[in-house]
Amino acid sequence: MRALLLAAFTSALQPPRLTQRPQRPATRLYNTAEVEACLNDEFPSFAALVFQNEELWRGLRDGSGYTVLAPNEAAFAKLDDKRQNQLKDPRNGEVVEQIGAYHVISDPVSKDDLYESSGVVTAGGRIDVGRSVVGGFMGIGGKEDGGVTVNGAKIVSSKSIGECVIHEMDDFAHPKVLDRYFDQLRIPGSS
């Protein structure tokens, strides 16, 4: 009896054995294809921009889920003609790829998770997350409205597709300093 109690006592003191996590179902490619189709249908200007970075999308297809911060068509309409042409110019491809990388997070992140954070690490680097404010004068006296901003761009709506999340944004989330690099690698005198 004493040996039985001693064995029960020592087994209670041992840490539980960790079991291997169950494998996720092999739906990643389907989810990625569905996400790509959604981006092509609902955010065609953004899809044309972000799908240029083939290495980024190849890495996302191999993962278990990801988040896309997709600027809506109104965000592209706000850009002047010069900026729109720079985004389409193949000579600015490197900058466009970097801008696209700032709009993808390699893990699924909900709007609530973003709301609770102060920043997020994207494929391009870290960007700030804040709460949207309405009212006030020059940033003073406004009240939080429960919305989320990512580097100043407000999340308009969110959609989950399998293990992936798409957040519709009213503006671009990349650091605006990247815009300075458009047209930098051109030979002087070229158009």
Tens of pLDDT along 137-157?
655 665 566 688 898 899 999
Q: Please, are residues 154 and 132 in contact by the beta-carbon 8 Å criterion?
A: yes
Beta strands in the chain (DSSP E): 67-71, 104-105, 119-121, 126-134, 143-150, 153-161, 164-169
Reduced to 3 states, what is the DSSP secondary structure of residue 140? strand
Domain assignment of residue 48, yes or no: yes
Residue whose entry in the numeric block shows the structure tokens 């020059």: 138
Number of helices and strands (H, E) in the chain?
8, 7
Q: Please, are residues 6 and 36 in contact by the beta-carbon 8 Å criterion?
A: no
Domain assignment of residue 149, yes or no: yes
Q: What is the CA radius of gyration of the chain?
A: 23
Q: Please, are residues 142 and 122 in contact by the beta-carbon 8 Å criterion?
A: no
| Domain CATH for 130 | 2.30.180.10
Domain assignment of residue 15, yes or no: no
Domain assignment of residue 39, yes or no: yes
Rounded to 5 degrees, what are φ and ψ at 9? -65, -45
pTM: 0.74
Q: Please, are residues 174 and 126 in contact by the beta-carbon 8 Å criterion?
A: no
Residue (of 135, 164, 171) closest to 150 by Cα position: 171
Q: Domain range holding 81? A: 27-181
Domain assignment of residue 186, yes or no: no
**Is 13's pLDDT higher than 70?**
no
Domain assignment of residue 5, yes or no: no
Which H helix or E strand runs over 40?
A: helix 28-42
Structural domain count of the chain: 1
Measured CA to CA, the distance from residue 64 to residue 52 in angstroms comes to 21
pLDDT in tens, 17-74: 333 333 444 444 446 778 889 999 999 999 988 887 788 877 777 777 889 999 999 9
**Is 185's pLDDT higher than 70?**
no
Domain assignment of residue 21, yes or no: no
Average pLDDT over residues 152-166: 91
Domain assignment of residue 19, yes or no: no
